[in-house]
Amino acid sequence: MRQSGFDKIVTQKRLDSDFIYGGYSAGVCVLSPTLRGIHLADNPDTVPNGYSRDIIWEGLGIIDFYVAPHYRSNHKETEMIEATVQFYIDNKMLFVALRDGDVLTLDSEEGLAQHPVQPDIPSG
């Protein structure tokens, strides 16, 4: 994020009343104050070619809590996210665990809302 300038763009644009940000998985985790904890699911030493190998632990700090994505979901990182959740608990870090399909919305007027996955309802 830092190398591309994405961090500065999102931090500035979030102040615009018509700004909408959508993030999935790590895309929502980066909004937290730090990326510590999520490192248990995403290896910080795995770096694509062309990017700095320096680990940046700071998140964007747009939200004041942490997100554990893929929690108890049919996803390859689900078991690793259990360790992330335990890390948050052990370190007394306020967090939200999201199952695949869950959505968080944050509105300046309405605040934070979690929209859980809806079970399949048979039509009849």
Q: Could you read off the pLDDT of 39-66 as tens digits, one per residue? A: 898 877 788 888 888 888 899 998 899 9
CA distance 116 to 10: 26
In a domain, 124, yes or no: no
Indicate the pTM of the whole model: 0.79
Which runs of consecutive H residues, i.e. helices, occur in the chain?
6-13, 26-29, 78-90
In a domain, 121, yes or no: no
State percent of the chain over pLDDT 70.
Answer: 87
Q: Which two tokens stand for residue 82?
A: 């259990």
CATH at 80 = 3.40.50.880
In a domain, 104, yes or no: yes
State percent of the chain over pLDDT 90.
Answer: 31
Residue 74 pLDDT class (50, 70, 90 cuts): confident
In a domain, 74, yes or no: yes
CA distance 84 to 34: 13
Helix (H, G, I), strand (E, B) or coil at 122: coil
Domain of 50 in residue numbering reads as 6-115
Q: Which two tokens stand for residue 59?
A: 């998140």
